[in-house]
Amino acid sequence: MANLTSNFIGIKSPNPFWLASAPPTDKKYNVERAFEAGWGGVVWKTLGSEGPPVVNVSGPRYGAIWGADRRLLGLNNIELITDRPLEVNLQEIKEVKRKWRDRALIISLMVPCDEDSWKDILHRIEDTEADGVELNFGCPHGMAERGMGSAVGQVPEYIEMVTRWVKKHSRMPCIVKLTPNISDIRKPAEAAKRGGADAVSLINTINSITSVNLDDFSPEPMIDGKGTHGGYCGPAVKPIALNMVAEIARNRETHGLPISGIGGVTTWRDAAEFMALGAGNVQVCTAAMTYGFKVVQEMISGLSQYLDEKGMTSTADLVGRAVPNVTDWQFLNLNYVTKAKINQDDCIKCGRCYAACEDTSHQAIAMSADRTFTVKDDECVACNLCVNVCPVENCITMVELPKGAVDERTGRKVADYANWTTHPNNPAVAAAE
């Protein structure tokens, strides 16, 4: 059986599944229940400086996006960092860590952007015996007036500066949590590395308004007739998170920088995808909030079975396996040709492929009088839309044309690999000639 034991930047845990800094990790009771359910680690909900506690609203804090079956696809959270006193949090962290020595316990921090504030809180948390700190540079809910959250995470120079302070004043491993509310995720990651960060975690939540109440004309969740943007998370953000993780993993300046993957991890498959793209472990929030802490048990068993089936003995064998296959568009093989093929035995004659292709694509599917649907190879560009709209899995597949075969659409034979960098239609090629 594959060994799921995780060693992330020297922080050991029995498996690579950590709970992310969020409402599920805001108190001793929650964290102990999570450990009892099997979670390998937690990132304690973000702590702030000593002083008057943060004030959260007492009305609705979550907005939501649902699928057709009302399955939760995304949450919008307007809750701020912990509103419990710092001293209470530190005492509970100390108690939990002493009881659960084999689990990873990371403290999320977000304090004003001055060195003394960071020095003070770091010295106070050293006594908890926590395994590391995570710098929250991504909280999207505001607090710019304190110089915290995404207001800092959008400025690489600030990230580097604060990270240096943390490494200067603390012995603890340092993870920098990055905001996705930025045009190029590589820049803050590079800044974190320059500052001495041991790892980065991403993505934090995305600025969003999930819906508008069309009776009261207020964003949801609504507080006394008003609403505001919040942080978007859940399965819907996973594609964005995967791309950003991959960008950091394959970037020359950050290649090899350990990554904790966050964003829509709901199943073991999601976790495996993050790891294949370079994440050493994953953090989970929305799935636990949706299904309860025991959801981790399916993740553990599923990932273990997958690794066994692939002949992998540990998660380390999986980490980064897909990174070499992530490339830029200009390097894709322009001589790779596929055609859609419909399995008539599986077809339920719903016509969704025909409607999609005829109205919005390339008119490459024909429909007979008895509603038999066939692909017109001379029109098919292999866009894959029909595969994506078909309700029957594997009813429509994309079949590769072998080298030397004639593409009926272009009349050309399938040739060897060639990409845009050498294509005669590329203006850069023409200019070089």
pLDDT tens per residue, range 306-325: 999 999 999 999 999 999 99
Query: pLDDT-derived band of residue 433, with 50, 70 and 90 as boundaries?
Result: low
Asked whether the predicted pLDDT for residue 386 surpasses 70, the reply is yes
Helix axes 186-194, 156-169, angle to 10 degrees: 30
Query: pLDDT-derived band of residue 372, with 50, 70 and 90 as boundaries?
Result: very high
Whole-number Å distance between alpha carbons of 262 and 178: 10
Longest Cα–Cα distance in the chain: 78
Residue carrying the six token digits 């007739």: 225
Asked whether the predicted pLDDT for residue 49 surpasses 90, the reply is no
Asked whether the predicted pLDDT for residue 215 surpasses 80, the reply is yes
State the pLDDT at residue 196: 98
Q: Which structural domains are found in the chain, ordered by start? A: 6-325 (3.20.20.70), 329-432 (3.30.70.20)
Asked whether the predicted pLDDT for residue 51 surpasses 70, the reply is no
State the pLDDT at residue 430: 67
Query: pLDDT-derived band of residue 79, with 50, 70 and 90 as boundaries?
Result: confident
Whole-number Å distance between alpha carbons of 96 and 42: 11
**Weakest mean pLDDT among 53-67, 106-120, 231-245:** 53-67
The letter for the amino acid at 366 is: A
Asked whether the predicted pLDDT for residue 139 surpasses 90, the reply is no
Q: Is 386 a catalytic residue?
A: no
What is the overall mean pLDDT for the chain?
93
State the pLDDT at residue 48: 81
Do residues 109 and 139 lie in contact, with contact meaning Cβ atoms separated by under 8 Å? no
State the pLDDT at residue 147: 57
State the pLDDT at residue 364: 98
Chain-centre distance for alpha carbon 353: 30
Chain-centre distance for alpha carbon 346: 34
State the pLDDT at residue 413: 97
Q: What integer is the mean pLDDT of 252-262?
A: 97
Percent of the chain clearing pLDDT 90 (strictly above): 78
Asked whether the predicted pLDDT for residue 138 surpasses 90, the reply is no
**Weakest mean pLDDT among 111-115, 137-141, 366-370, 386-390:** 137-141
Query: pLDDT-derived band of residue 291, with 50, 70 and 90 as boundaries?
Result: very high
Q: What integer is the mean pLDDT of 59-63?
A: 80
Do residues 40 and 16 lie in contact, with contact meaning Cβ atoms separated by under 8 Å? yes
> 236, 233, 307: which is closest to 272 by C-alpha?
307
Q: What integer is the mean pLDDT of 208-214?
A: 91
Model pTM above 0.85: yes
Q: What integer is the mean pLDDT of 413-430?
A: 91
Whole-number Å distance between alpha carbons of 44 and 283: 12
Of the candidates 139, 353, 380, 395, the residue annotated as catalytic is 139
Query: pLDDT-derived band of residue 185, with 50, 70 and 90 as boundaries?
Result: very high
Whole-number Å distance between alpha carbons of 419 and 328: 11
Residues in CB range of 77: below 8 A, 6 or more apart: 22, 23, 61, 62, 141, 205, 230, 231, 233
Instruction: Sort 98 into a burial class: Cβ within 10 Å, 0-12 / 13-18 / 19+.
Output: exposed
Three-state SS letters, the chain:
CCECCEEECCEEECCCEEECCCHHHCCHHHHHHHHHHCCCEEEEEEECCCCCCCCCCCCCCEEEEECCCCCEEEEEECCCCCCCCHHHHHHHHHHHHHHCCCCEEEEEECCCCCHHHHHHHHHHHHHHCCCEEEEECCCCCCCHHHCCCHHHHCCHHHHHHHHHHHHHHCCCCEEEECCCCCCCCHHHHHHHHHCCCCEEEECCCEEECCEEECCCCEEECCECCECCCEEEECHHHHHHHHHHHHHHHHCCCCCCCCEEEECCCCCHHHHHHHHHCCCCEEEECHHHHHHCCCHHHHHHHHHHHHHHHCCCCEHHHCCCCCHHHCCCHHHCCCCCCEEEEECCCCCCCCCHHHHHHHHHCCCCEEECCCCCEEECCCCCCCCCHHHHHCCCCCCEEEEECCCCCECCCCCCECCCCCCHHHCCCCHHHHHHC
Asked whether the predicted pLDDT for residue 245 surpasses 80, the reply is yes
Query: pLDDT-derived band of residue 224, with 50, 70 and 90 as boundaries?
Result: confident
Do residues 185 and 248 lie in contact, with contact meaning Cβ atoms separated by under 8 Å? yes
Whole-number Å distance between alpha carbons of 375 and 316: 43
State the pLDDT at residue 142: 54
Query: pLDDT-derived band of residue 195, with 50, 70 and 90 as boundaries?
Result: very high
State the pLDDT at residue 389: 97
Asked whether the predicted pLDDT for residue 78 surpasses 80, the reply is no
Asked whether the predicted pLDDT for residue 431 surpasses 70, the reply is no
More confident site: 75 or 399 = 399
Do residues 208 and 230 lie in contact, with contact meaning Cβ atoms separated by under 8 Å? yes
Residues in CB range of 201: below 8 A, 6 or more apart: 134, 175, 176, 177, 178, 259, 260, 261, 262, 283
Q: Read off the pLDDT of residues 157-170 as tens digits, 9 standing for 90 and up.
A: 999 999 999 999 99
State the pLDDT at residue 432: 55
Whole-number Å distance between alpha carbons of 127 and 129: 6
Do residues 125 and 89 lie in contact, with contact meaning Cβ atoms separated by under 8 Å? no
Do residues 84 and 118 lie in contact, with contact meaning Cβ atoms separated by under 8 Å? no
Range 372-381, long-range pairs (CB < 8 A, 24+ positions): 372/344, 372/347, 373/342, 373/347, 373/349, 374/342, 375/339, 375/340, 375/341, 375/342, 377/339, 377/408, 377/409, 378/408, 378/409, 379/409, 380/339, 380/340, 380/409, 381/409
Asked whether the predicted pLDDT for residue 193 surpasses 60, the reply is yes
How many residues make up the chain in this entry? 433
